[in-house]
Structure formats: structure tokens, C-alpha cells
Chains A and B, each alone.
Chain A
Amino acid sequence: MTTAADLLSKSAAAMAESVRGGAVSATALAQAAFARIEATDARINAFTARTEQRALQRAADIDAKLAAGGEAAQALRALPLLGVPFAVKNLFDIEGLTTLAGSKIEREHPPARRDAVLVQRLEAAGAVLAGALNMDEYAYGFTTENSHVGPARNPHDTSRIAGGSSGGSGAAVAAGQVPLTLGSDTNGSIRVPASLCGVFGLKPTFGRLPRTGSYPFVSSLDHLGPFARSVRDLALAYDAMQGPEAGPIRDPGCLQRAPEPVAPLLQDGLHGLRIGVLGGFFRARATPEALAVVDRVAAALGAGEAVELPMVQAGRAAAFLITNSEGAALHLPDLRTRAADFEPLSRDRFLAGTLLPAAWIARAQRVRRLYAEGVARVFERFDVLLAPATPCAATPIGAETFEIGGQQLPVRPNMGVLTQPISCIGLPVCAVPVWGGSEERPAPLPIGVQVIAAPWREDLVLRVAAALEAAGVAHAPVAEPGAPT
């Protein structure tokens, strides 16, 4: 008999199926998740708040309604994420908790009065919120070395970073604490931790999912999306979160499109897809290990053609400047009066960002448009493009530099160098976890590959990710985190 604890290492879809069929209760599943969090989080530091009381109450409600039978039970059984525990980066509003966005400063603010829209939508799909997750302060970082609460640790090697800024979101899924989390991605903050923690991550098209009730970093570039250990789980969560907002307050950056469900399309396979491999910029900034995993994925997909993105360096520069300026301007009042309370690892970047000439930023937004038009032409010849998600596997916590292409570069701004040019123009991406490098260069840690498509084609990136998962090229095992070495 499968116990709730056994189920925790399975997919969210399997958990929902077990609750639906009565093999396990939602309560037992929630209890198992909190037991796993309790047993592992001292080593991982993924959670910054646990919503145990709320989760157990909600799970008990689900169990009571299922037991009562009738139409209500039937309606519940139709929910795709019934009883599935999930957690969210601590920039999502959770009713009754203060939204920290990784900061010390926000601790002084009152609790949120309602849940973020995406939290509401996952719960409407049957999921059970288990808590809030560690992140880089105000999402400005790629390592989740949060000085206020300590670093999120990589469950596959706890001496190494989980990536960021949604580090807790990647780590909680990799550690088997919950099968599903939400994060945000402005320049790579879903794809980088997915890559380093060895899980699947989806950054949808810019403007697809509403951000209402989440703490902004850079409104011009912010995306929200899910992490999971299977492509099907990503698709179920993503489908549950799509659709226009009903309330009077809407995210002006969301295009409020009708849902375009992808879960029914996952098995459509690769037939007819034209797949290219990004070269130039994307190979020059990757280690041999990262290139080896991309080449393995390309070989599995029969993709041989190298593709250069036009203007990619200018595109990355545009994202850098827009982020630096817009992100910093948001915090100018606090930077004026209490700079010492900011994260020391990103404070000076924020301070510098307040000072950038307006003409640089106006130009960056126009270059971004021109770059997007150039890349749109590339997608007239290709359906899907591949690139490493990170230049290398997870680096040790505290590492200042790493070597790429013979150059020593600072880790913190460069871990997202391969993701930043893609989110700059809002393309949908699934980061798929690949292990083992190549026969010549075996690697014990995962590196993600970005599967990239034209805007609004999340179906294509998830179809390709599903094919890679089915072929055994990409997979996301649960880690048994040891003590830091």
C-alpha cells in the first residue's frame, strides 16, 4: 500500500489521483509534506513561513466534502490538483502573512489581506498551500544567498547554491518537500534555480499570467510561473493559472488572454517541429559541461542547426539597464533613508540603478523592441530553440567568481547571462533538468536546458520537454539532502 510519505516523492498528478480515488486523504498528504519539511528544511532553508494550520484546515475540508459524497464531492474529484501541497516564493501575497519579498524592510508592513491571484487559482484547482519560500531580496539576484535569513541550499549538494532569485522554489521541489511551487522570473529567476536544482521550470510568455497580489521587481520584465518534477505537473499548474482576471483590480502587464490549455497536447510529440540550437553568445558563455547537456538534448531531438540570435548582446544590455533602473527606482525612498537595511549583496547595485540617465533607459526600451522584431524573424524558420539555462552547474555558496571561456567572472550577475536575453523579449521557456554531462565529462550535478518558443507557444516548449522526459534525457529526481560538506 502506498503511504502519503511514499506519495510525496511522486508527481502532483499521482497525488491528486490518490486523493481522488480515496487511497490517501488530503490531510495525510499535507501532514506528510510538513513532516518532510520538518525533517529536511534545517539543511535546505527553503521555507520562510509554513502555513500548517491553514493547510490542515483546508485538507480537512477537502476530506470532509469527499466523504459526504454528492455533487460537491464529484466536483472536487474533477479538480486537477486535488489535495496537492504547494508553496510560493515569498513575494506572493498570502492572506494573514506579511509579504517579505526576501527583505528585512518589508517585515514592518501589515499582513496581506488576500491571496495573490495565482495562489487563489491553484487552490481553486484543489491544491493546498503549505507556505512561503526563500528568495533573493526583492528578487535582485541569481543565487538566493539571502543575508537576512541565510542561503537556500541546493538539495543535491547542500554546500552549493540553489540558484535564484526563486531559490526556495527550486529547492523545495528538488528536496521532495512539495511537488509544486511558484516563483517569479524577471531575468532568469525561475530558469536558473530550476537548472541548478534539477527540476522543471516554466516561464510563460510575458503578459500571460496575472501578477496581481505579487510584490513587483521590474514591472516591465516580471513573469510568474511554476516549478515541478514532471512536465505534466507543470502543465496542470500552468493550465489552472491561465485566463483573464475577474476582479476589478487587474495586472496592467497581463494581456488577459483566454486560456489555451496545454496538458491535452503534451503527447503530441515532435513531429514537424523545426528545432535549432542557439550558438554564438550562448556557447561562448557556457562551460563545456553546459554545452555537453545542450548537445545531448539536441541529439535526442535530432536538432543540428546552429542559430544566432540577432542583437543578442544589445538585448541583454537592455534587460540589464531596465532592471537596474526600474528595480532601483521602486526602492528609492528606502534607499535614501535606510540603505543599511538592504541586502549587502545587492544594495550597491540598487543604489547605482537609481542614478542611471533617463535616456539610457528610454533607449533600452526601444532596442528591446527592435531585438524582439529580429528574433521574431528567426521564429519564422524555427519552432523551438535550445540553449543552456546556466553557464555551469551550482557553484559553492559564497563563491564570488567562476570561470567561463577562460575568463574569471562574478557569479552573482553572470549566472543569469544565458536567461536574461530570452526573458527580455518575453519568450516562453521550459527549463528541463539534464544530468551527467557527457561520457567524456561526467557531471554529478544537473544543468538545465532552455526550450524556447515564439510568444504564446507554451504548448511547444512543454511538448518538447515532455518528449525529453519520456526519452529519459530530462528528469527530476528527489534529493536526499545531507549536511553541508
Chain B
Amino acid sequence: MTRMTPGQIEAFVDASAAALDLQLQPEHREGVLRYFALAADMAALLDAVPLDPHVEPALNFVPVPPGKHRP
């Protein structure tokens, strides 16, 4: 995966925030960009791991029988 440039991060953050109706305040923006860049670095580490299609996600769904749900 090609590393995202600072400009790409900024564009992605703005577009995603708009899609989520999340209005980033000016005083929060610098921190958000910094943490998004850190997450992008982490994602690059994951992208370098070869995964075949049979590697399952580490999640299990438990079906809910009648009477076993929240009130």
C-alpha cells in the first residue's frame, strides 16, 4: 500500500467527516490529522501481511434465542 500523503489524509478526513455529519472544530483538526496519520501507519503494517482468503476475522457472532435478549 502506498503511504498516504498529508494532502490525501486531509482530503480523506474532510470527506469522511462530512459523510458522517461530524463537524471538526478548528481546535481539534490538527490532532485529528495527526492521529489519522498514525492509524494510517498502522494500516500499512497490516497491509504488508499476506492474507489468504481463508483467514477468518477474529469475530464470532452468537445467535440470540427467544428470551435471551435485552429488555
Q: Chain A, interface size: which category?
A: 35 or more
Q: Which residues of B contact A370 (CB under 8 A)?
A: 49, 51, 55
Q: Which residue of B lies closest to A364 (CB)?
A: B46
Nearest B residue to A356 via CB reads: B39
Query: Number of contact residues on B: which range applies?
Result: 35 or more
Whether the pair A355, B49 counts as a contact (CB closer than 8 A) is: no
Q: A220-B59, A352-B32, A370-B51 are in contact. Are A340 and B25 (CB under 8 A)?
A: yes
Report the nearest A residue to B24, measured CB to CB.
A351
User: Chain B: which residue is nearest A332 at the CB level?
Assistant: B20
**Docked complex Cα distance between A318 and B51 (Å):** 14
Interface positions, chain A 288-326, Cβ under 8 Å from B, are 311, 313-314, 317-318, 320-321, 324
When chains A and B are docked, how far (Å) is the Cα of A348 from the Cα of B22?
12
The answer to whether B22 and A335 have CB atoms under 8 Å apart is yes
Told that A248-B67, A352-B39, A370-B49 touch, could you supply 19 new A-B pairs with CB distance under 8 A? A314-B48, A317-B46, A321-B43, A321-B46, A332-B20, A348-B34, A349-B31, A351-B28, A355-B32, A356-B39, A356-B43, A357-B43, A363-B51, A365-B57, A365-B59, A366-B55, A367-B46, A369-B58, A370-B51
A98-B20 Cα distance, complex, nearest whole Å: 29
CB pair B35 A352 closer than 8 Å: yes
- Does B23 reach chain A (CB closer than 8 Å)? yes
Give the residue name and chain of the B residue nearest to A373 (CB).
Answer: B55
Complex Cα gap A332–B23 (Å): 11
Q: Does A354 contact B39, Cβ atoms closer than 8 Å? A: no
List chain B positions with a Cβ less than 8 A from chain A. 12-13, 16-17, 20-25, 28, 30-36, 38-39, 42-43, 45-49, 51, 55-59, 62, 67-71
Closest CB pairs A-B (n = 3): A348-B31, A352-B35, A365-B57
Mark each residue of chain A from 341 to 379: 1 if its CB lies under 8 Å from any CB of chain B, else 0. 000000111011111110010111111111010000000
A351 cross-chain contacts in B, Cβ below 8 A: 22, 24, 28, 31-32, 35
- Report B-chain residues with C-beta under 8 Å of the C-beta of A324: 35, 39
Question: With an 8 A cutoff between CB atoms, is A246 at the interface?
Answer: no
CB pair B68 A248 closer than 8 Å = yes
Q: Which residues of A lie under 8 Å from residue B38 when comparing CB positions? A: 413
The answer, among A252, A317, A332, for a CB contact under 8 Å with B45, is: A317
Least distance between B8 CB and chain A CB atoms (Å): 12
B58/A365 in contact, CB under 8 A? yes
**Is the CB of A36 closer than 8 A to any CB of chain B?**
no
User: Given that A347-B28, A354-B20, A369-B57 are known contacts, is A249 also in contact with B70, CB under 8 Å in the complex?
Assistant: yes
Verify A220–B17 contact, CB threshold 8 A: no
- What is the CB-to-nearest-CB distance from A127 to chain B, in angstroms, rounded to a whole number? 27
Q: Which of A220, A313, A317 contacts B58 (CB 8 A)?
A: A220
Q: How far is the CA of A95 from the CA of B46 in the complex (A)?
A: 43
A369: B residues at CB distance < 8 A: 55-58
Contact of A352 among B36, B45, B49, B62 (CB under 8 A): B36
A324–B59 Cα gap in the complex (Å)?
A: 17
Asked if A332 and B22 sit within 8 Å, CB to CB, the answer is yes
Q: Let me know if A250 is at the binding interface, CB within 8 A.
A: yes
Check B51 against A366 for contact (C-beta < 8 Å).
Answer: yes
- Whether the Cβ atoms of A321 and B55 lie closer than 8 Å is no
* Distance from A138 Cβ to chain B, minimum over Cβ atoms (Å): 15
